[in-house]
Every structure is written in C-alpha cells, then in structure tokens.
C-alpha cells in the first residue's frame, strides 16, 4: 500500500560543489573516528546519552517554538509525542546499556563438546539517519540514541519541510557531540541523494514507500544494512462488544493528534453495524470536545496542528472532495483553509472502497468509518490492503481478539487503545512487508547499529571431531552415520 508521506522522487540531481565537499569531509572525518568509538565503554557512551538528555530538556522551549513555526504543533503535543518518547529511549538505554554490550554466553550442543561460545556486540560503523517531517524530533533523536549506544558515528539529515526544527536540532546536537561523532546536514532531496551514494554501514530511514525503495537500492550498492519505517494504512476494528465511548475517545486522540500526520495513526475504522451510528456520534462528539464546537473554534484551537505544506494540503483536499463526490457523508462537517493549511478533523461514512482515501495512506485528519456485519469481513478487507504498520482492535471478547491476531499480520497490534506500542521500550517497532523492514526502539535499535559477532573457543587439542577428518575410512563412515542417526532422532 503506497505511503503519502513523501512524493515520488525525481531523478538524482547535482549538488553545489560546496555541499558535496562538506558531505565528503564529514563522511571521511567520521570514518576516522569509527575505530576510537568502537573501543568506548558503556560508561563513556552513557555519559554522552546523559548529555543529550540534558540538552534536550534545556532546549524544550526552543523546540516548542520551532515546531509551532513549522506546522503549528501544540507545545503539549511536542512534549507528549516528540520529547517524551526520546526521553523514554534515553532512560531505557542508560539503564540497560551495560547489559546490552556485555558478551552473551550461549549453550554448547553435545556434538561440540569441548567448546564455548558467545555473541559479542560491536558497532557496525558509520550510520546515516534520514528523518521525516511529521515527528522531526522524535524520529531523528530516537534512532540516534540507539546509534550512540552502539558506538557508531552518525550523519543525520532532517527533513527540509521542517526547517526551523532542523536548524535547532543542528544547534542542539553541536552542544553535545563533536561533528566527528554526530553531524547534521540540512538540505533538500539532493542532499539525501548525495548521502546515499556514500558507503555507510547502516542506514535508518523513516518516510514513504517510494523513497524507501530508493534507499534500499542505494544501500544495496554498498551492501549496507537498513532499517526502513515506511508506514501504510493502519486499520481499526471496533466490534459489537467494544465500549464505544472509550473507543471513540482513544481513536480520536490517536487519529487527530498532529492533524493526523502520524505513521501509526488510525487510518480507517471497521465498526460492527450494530455500533456504527453510536460510534460515529461518539467520535463526532469527541472531536468537538477536543478541538471546539464548530469549525471556527477548531481553527482557532491552540491544540490542533496544521498540514505541513501546500502539497500535502492539496492532496488531502483532493481526496476529501473525491470521496464526497462519490457519495461520502462528513461528520461533523468540514472546513478547509488553504491560507494556513487548516483541515477540519472529519469522520466520513459511506466511503466507496475504490476512492483514494481507501487506497492510499491518508496521513491527515480524515477518518473513514466502514460498517461490517461479520468479523471475517473486516479481516478480509484488512488482508486485501496489505500488511499494516499497526493494527488496532477494540473488543471485550477475547475470542474476537484472538481471531484477528491469528488471521492478520502487522508490524504491531494494540488492543483497546491507540499509539501505545510505540512508546513501550521493550516492544520491537517496525513494519511487515511493504510497511517496513527491521525493528527499532530500545535494544532493537542498539542491535540495528551493531554487528552480532559470533565467537567460538575450542579448549581441546584432541577434539572428538577429528575422528571425522579425512581420509574417510569405513570407520569414519560408520561414525558419520551414527551421528546423523543421533541428530535425526
């Protein structure tokens, strides 16, 4: 399922010579620093993470201002969805990094008697983080925590669609790290293309599917590993047993925070036909309670963000107009203001399955609600749409939840709430198939930037395995046959 966070990229473009030289300088500089960083201890890395945490808190008012300037993100949302998740990552890494870095002993199978084995964790080397615009602090600094924990130097490229935040992040990180360890390069897609031509050891990309394919192609040129968080449509099921008021409140928060520009936001809702009208009514009431009684009040609400740029505003407006022309009904109504890129939070019923709202990731404050009669109908529709990044289920019936889990695949699933798997540091975060590759958060981000090195030590000079060496005699063949029989038992 295509993602709409990024438009399809044009062919590679040429960078000005000064920018090309700067990229090459930083890449070379970090290459020289990779070996010293490889030898840093857990205590040294923890000190860096603590300095990052202190700098993040010190820059909190400036981050509020920068994100408001970029797309009027409310300061409360900045705290909850940008700064807070990074603090969770930092807290978790600081607490667990010594254990993560410690070599892990593994058990010895009977046929390798006399040996011992362990897994050691060493930095992969130079990392590249290509960050998106929708959560420019969270999805830039979150991956950075794992890279620093793993001992990798990193170049970060923030999104050009949030210039105020990107500039501030560059200033913030410069107070914590030398550019030989962490460097920020601002710029448009040409900068990203130029960076991708360098042989980084690991690339962490968050964004749209179209660009994700190009990132993977570029990584393949150098056989670099990748983490790709690509998004897609994240459906919701509200069954006949669900608490409609509770579901409406949680879905409204998950959907309309950041004006719907969230990779794991509920994209559309399948609701049991017996609860459909009550759910739409509750969801409409929740929009009014959160943001204001009418469109004017919602437009004036300090708690509601804006669409990031004119391109995405026009795309959402076109999707909305197409759905209405095809017979959809909006609740509580809808208003759009191109001047400040305001789109009213809206619930849509009667949305035909062939319109763009149902074919593409919405990534905005438009929420289709689709009735179903039998649970297998909703499951079938979800499976036809590809593997979602996140799937939400609201139900008080365990058998229904089990039915959905057993018959669908998703990067993550949340039962009776929204968004929460993202901020659980012990849960792996990532997509399935087209919605992403690799896992992140906590230990998984540390692993993404680490090489798991297998080490085996042989203690015996006259190992029993020597009996299997050539020449292959009749006795050797009997021993091999006996071993295979034992292994196959």
Pick from 161, 120, 168, 127: nearest CA to 145: 127
Q: Kindly report the number of other CB atoms within 10 A of residue 296's CB atom.
A: 11
Question: For residues 134 and 261, is the Cβ–Cβ distance under 8 A?
Answer: yes
* 252-267 core/surface letters (b: 16 or more CB in 10 A; e: else): bbbbbbbbbbbbbbbb
Tokens of 374: 């039998």
Query: At a CB cut-off of 8 Å and minimum separation 6, what does 480 contact?
Result: 468
Whole-angstrom distance, CA of residue 401 vs CA of residue 367: 22
Q: Are the beta carbons of 126 and 82 closer than 8 angstroms?
A: no
CA distance 322 to 194: 38
**DSSP letter for each residue of 223-250:** T-EEEEE-----EEEE-TTS-HHHHHHH
**163-174 helix and 60-71 helix, angle to the nearest 10 degrees:** 160
Q: What angle do CA 390, 193, 186 make, to 5 degrees?
A: 85
Let me know if 263 is a catalytic residue: yes
Q: How far apart are CA 188 and CA 16, in angstroms?
A: 12
User: Cβ distance 153 to 180 under 8 Å?
Assistant: yes
Query: Where do we find the tokens 């983490």?
Result: 227
Q: Are 193 and 23 in contact (CB under 8 A)?
A: no
Q: Tokens representing 239? A: 């069954």
Q: What is the DSSP secondary structure assignment for residue 65, as one 8-state letter?
A: H
CA distances from 21 to 15, 17, 30, 194 (A): 10, 6, 14, 11
Contacts 24+ apart (CB under 8 A), 39-43: 40/151, 42/97, 42/98, 42/101
Active-site position among 152, 263, 319, 414: 263
CB-based contacts of 420: which residues, under 8 Å, 6+ apart?
414
Record the tokens describing residue 50, joined without a space.
């603590």
Catalytic residue among 6, 229, 249, 361: 229
Residue 76: count other Cβ atoms within 10 Å of its Cβ: 12
Active site residue 13: no
| Spatial separation of the C-alpha atoms in residues 375 and 256, rounded to whole Å | 26
The SS3 of residue 136 is coil
What whole-number distance in Å separates Cα of residue 72 and Cα of residue 61?
A: 14
Give the C-alpha separation, 278 to 131, whole Å.
39
- Residues with a known catalytic role: 229, 263
């Amino acid at each position: 399922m295509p993602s709409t966070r990024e438009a399809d990229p044009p062919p590679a473009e040429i960078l000005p010579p000064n920018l090309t030289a700067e990229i090459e300088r930083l890449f070379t500089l970090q290459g020289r620093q990779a070996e010293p960083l490889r030898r840093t201890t857990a205590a040294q890395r923890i000190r860096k993470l603590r300095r990052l945490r202190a700098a993040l808190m010190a820059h909190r008012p400036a981050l509020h201002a920068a994100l408001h300037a970029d797309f009027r993100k409310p300061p409360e949302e900045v705290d909850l969805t940008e700064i807070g998740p990074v603090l969770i990552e930092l807290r978790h890494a600081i607490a667990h990094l010594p254990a993560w870095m410690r070599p892990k002993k593994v058990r010895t199978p009977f046929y390798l008697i006399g040996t011992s084995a362990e897994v050691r964790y060493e930095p992969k080397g130079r990392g590249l983080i290509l960050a998106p615009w929708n959560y420019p602090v969270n999805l830039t600094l979150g991956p950075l925590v794992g890279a620093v924990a793993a001992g990798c130097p990193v170049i970060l490229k923030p999104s050009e669609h949030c210039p105020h935040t990107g500039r501030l992040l560059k200033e913030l990180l410069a107070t914590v790290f030398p550019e030989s360890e962490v460097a920020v390069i601002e710029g448009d897609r040409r900068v990203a293309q130029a960076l991708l031509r360098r042989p980084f050891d690991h690339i962490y990309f968050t964004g749209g599917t179209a660009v994700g394919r190009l990132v993977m192609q570029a990584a393949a040129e150098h056989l670099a590993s990748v983490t790709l968080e690509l998004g897609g449509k994240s459906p919701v099921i509200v069954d006949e047993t669900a608490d409609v008021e509770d579901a409406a409140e949680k879905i409204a928060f998950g959907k309309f925070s950041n004006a719907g520009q969230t990779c794991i936001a509920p994209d559309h809702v399948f609701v049991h036909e017996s609860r459909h009208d009550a759910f739409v009514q509750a969801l409409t009431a929740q929009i009014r309670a959160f943001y204001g009684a009418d469109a004017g009040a919602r437009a004036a609400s300090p708690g509601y963000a804006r669409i990031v740029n004119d391109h995405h505003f026009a795309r959402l407006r076109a999707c909305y107009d197409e759905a209405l022309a095809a017979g959809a009904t909006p609740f509580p109504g809808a208003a759009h203001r191109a001047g400040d890129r305001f789109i009213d939070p809206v619930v849509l019923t009667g949305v035909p399955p062939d319109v763009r709202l149902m074919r593409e990731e919405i990534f905005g404050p438009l929420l289709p609600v689709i009735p179903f009669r039998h649970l297998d109908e909703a499951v079938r529709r979800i499976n036809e749409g590809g593997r979602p990044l996140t799937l939400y289920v609201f139900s008080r019936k365990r058998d229904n939840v089990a039915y959905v889990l057993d018959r669908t695949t998703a990067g993550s699933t949340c039962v009776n709430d929204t968004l929460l798997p993202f901020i659980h540091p012990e849960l792996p975060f990532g997509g399935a198939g087209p919605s992403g590759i690799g896992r992140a958060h906590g230990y998984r981000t540390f692993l993404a930037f680490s090489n798991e090195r297998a080490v085996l030590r042989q203690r015996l000079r006259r190992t029993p395995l020597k009996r299997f060496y050539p020449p292959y005699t009749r006795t050797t063949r009997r021993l091999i046959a006996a071993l295979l029989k034992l292994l196959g038992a």
